[in-house]
Amino acid sequence: MKTKLNQLSILSLILSISLSCTQKQDQISGPIFIDLDELPARQIDISSYLNDIRVIPLETTPENMLGTFSLLDQDDSNIFYLSREDQAISHFSSKGKYINKFCHKGKGPGEYNRIKNMHLVPGSESILISDDRQKKMIQYNFAGNFINEFTLPNSTGHFVVLNNNLIALYLSKMSGFTSVDTKHDLIFMDLGGNIVAKQFPHNTRLHFAFGAPFTRPDPDGTFYYSMQFDFNLYSLKDTSRPQIAFSLDYGNHAASIDDLSGPGIEDLGALNKQGKKSYMDHPINTKKDLALINYKDRKTSMMLINKKTQQLRLFGTDSLRNLGYLHSFPIHIPRDSYKENFIVIHDAVDLYTIIQSLSSEQKNKLNKRIKGFDQILNIKEDDNPVLVYYNFKSF
């Protein structure tokens, strides 16, 4: 009898734990509420939340003086930096050692007018760029030699390259300007420019497209995709229909496409004046966290979401868009991400001023706290930018 009671107690405990886990899972899978009325967020002491932080200075050479930052992409061995002014692509090692650069501005085959987006093609030692003005995509090898080009259905230019070397291209609802065949928010193309799959069909024609449709991928190659007037992040790994990974609830601030009185930008402007959002805040993805960058009342806030627990933490910024300071070293709001880290691009002139103002004690503390900090102690005002990588403690 005692044995049976013990068995029943153990079974009851197992069922209780199982039910608890199920309830927790149901809670995690629910929508994440974004309260825009709490923004702009107040600034807090960022130093207590930071985990790892490191810097990589991009090597300065006479033949490679970088211009204003435009775009960045990288893998475990390479970093590619696009300068805004001359549209030159500079190639560095993962440690910041300069390798080469190339620029192919023009209107002929293999040439671009303006680079809208650029991504490395996995396993191929090649890079793919989109030119939104000439509505085409061009592939170069790492040396800058032309490989291939093809025409794009429209001019949004937003794309990512999946691990199977297929291109996921965001058309938006502006694709109504093209053929009926491409009236989809998302299409997939091979490296020859052939459409191999289409997702999210629509019959709506708009004259605008806003938002950041793709994040950086998770370590397994899964990207997250979002659309205008849709506040979900969809997991994107292949050509199958993307599934909802995260759902954001903006409450009364979320606009529907049915709220528009017309397809023009002025109609969207009318919604904005009512405090309505037509797309989610700019998402930046890392292995563990998802950051949403919000701009409200001329101030920037970061909403940090732990992807496992879906807990949310708010960070405000100062007038320079710094989240805070670590021993007087500024931690800027992220521009990009790679694997587990958020990325900031610091101009050398700004870091020079900061380092000159540091005391010996502060430099010693930073040298212990920031990996590679000793490499920027003697930075010059006209050196190339420095990449800062950081991540947060779990919460």
Segment 135-164 shows an average pLDDT of 94
Residue 10 has pLDDT above 70, yes or no: no
**Which pLDDT band, with edges at 50, 70 and 90, does 50 fall under?**
very high
pLDDT value of position 45: 94
Question: What CATH code is carried by the domain that includes residue 40?
Answer: 2.120.10.30
Name the least confident of 146-160, 177-191, 249-263: 177-191
Position 176 pLDDT exceeds 60: no
pLDDT band at 175, cuts 50/70/90? low
More confident residue, 181 or 130: 130
Instruction: Assess if residue 256 is contained within a domain.
Output: yes
Residue 23 in any domain: the answer is: no
Residue 23: C-alpha distances to residues 19, 32, 379 (Å): 6, 16, 53
Question: Is 8 contained in some domain?
Answer: no
Angle at 244 between CA 242 and CA 248, to 5 degrees: 140
pLDDT value of position 61: 96
Instruction: State the pLDDT at residue 30.
Output: 81
Q: Which amino acid is at 5?
A: L
- Residue 18's pLDDT is 43
Output the pLDDT for position 181. Answer: 59
Where residue 29 falls among pLDDT bands split at 50, 70, 90? low
Contact (Cβ atoms closer than 8 angstroms) between residue 243 and residue 232: no
Residue 25 buriedness (CB in 10 A; 0-12 / 13-18 / 19+): exposed
Kindly state whether residue 14 falls inside one of the protein's structural domains.
no
pLDDT-based confidence at residue 178 (cuts at 50, 70, 90): low
> Is residue 140 one of the residues assigned to a domain?
yes
Relative to beta strand 78-83, strand 232-236 is: unpaired
pLDDT given for residue 157 in this prediction: 87
Q: Is 149 within 8 Å of 131 (Cβ atoms)?
A: no
Starting at the edge strand that comes first in sequence, how are the strands of the sheet with 126-131 ordered? 115-121, 126-131, 136-141, 146-151
| Beta-bridge partner residues of 141 | 126
CA 51 from chain centre, in angstroms, equals: 20
Could you tell me the pLDDT band of residue 4, with boundaries at 50, 70 and 90?
Answer: very low
Between 118 and 155, residue with greater pLDDT: 118
Lowest mean pLDDT segment, chosen from 162-171, 204-213, 317-326:
204-213
User: What is the per-residue pLDDT across 330-360, written as a single tens digit (0 to 9) for each?
Assistant: 999 999 999 999 999 999 999 999 999 999 9
Rounded average pLDDT over 269-297: 95
The per-residue pLDDT for 9 is: 47
**Sign of the four-CA dihedral 25, 29, 30, 36:** positive
End-to-end CA distance of the chain: 46
- Residue 22 domain-assigned? no
- 102-113 average pLDDT score: 97
* 284-294: average pLDDT: 98
**How high is the pLDDT of residue 206?**
86
Higher pLDDT among residues 272 and 17, named by residue: 272
Instruction: Please check the confidence at residue 110 and state whether its pLDDT lies above 60.
Output: yes
Both tokens assigned to 312: 């949310």
Residue 205: inside a domain, yes or no?
yes
How much is the mean pLDDT over the chain? 91
Considering the domain boundaries, does residue 18 fall inside one?
Answer: no
Q: What value does the mean pLDDT take over residues 106-126?
A: 96
Q: How many structural domains are present in the chain?
A: 1
Residue 27 scores a pLDDT above 60: no
Quote the domain boundaries for residue 346: 33-392
pLDDT tens-digit map of 130-148:
999 999 999 999 999 999 9
- Which pLDDT value is given to residue 81? 98
* Rounded mean pLDDT, 75-80: 98
User: Region 12-38: what's the mean pLDDT?
Assistant: 58
User: Is pLDDT at 71 greater than 90 in this prediction?
Assistant: yes
Segment 172-200 mean pLDDT: 82
Q: In whole angstroms, what is the distance from residue 359 CA to residue 249 CA?
A: 46
